[in-house]
Amino acid sequence: MLAIVKTGGKQYLVHNQDTITIETIAGAVGDAVMFDQVLLVADDAGNKLQLGKPTVVGTKVPATIAKQDRHDKVITVKFHNKTRYRRRKGHRQPFTQVTIGDIK
């Protein structure tokens, strides 16, 4: 089975037992999460297709939080020529890694 779920303002194509990286959500490692905004559900061959308007009613995708972490540091630099203006700033975006359960 495959599904398209919406979380964190983004859409993700997921299969059974997939591990995906999404925007951070609350919870500890091992906690169960339920994605209720399911936009599409189909079997692997694409024969049985359910398309939501905008979501498929009564369908949820279970998942388990596998990891809470932050991405590598991204450095941003501001520079103005001939004025001795230089600014350097780093940022690490938090993320959550989840393992998808059985899509029904």
| Best CA proximity match to 16, nearest among 5, 7, 25 | 5
Residue 37's pLDDT is 95
The range of the structural domain enclosing residue 55 comes to 2-100
Nearest CA-CA partner of 5 in 88, 20, 66, 93: 20
Residue-level pLDDT at 59: 92
At position 9, the amino acid (one-letter code) is G
Look at the chain and report how many structural domains it folds into. Answer: 1
Amino acid identity, position 94: P
Cβ burial, residue 60 (10 Å; 0-12/13-18/19+)? middle
Q: Please tell me whether residue 98 adopts helix, strand or coil conformation.
A: strand
User: Given this model, what pLDDT does residue 62 score?
Assistant: 96
The one-letter code for the residue type at 104 is K
For the chain, 104 residues long, the average pLDDT of each consecutive 10-residue run is 94 96 96 95 86 92 97 98 97 97 88
Q: At residue 41, what is the residue type?
A: V
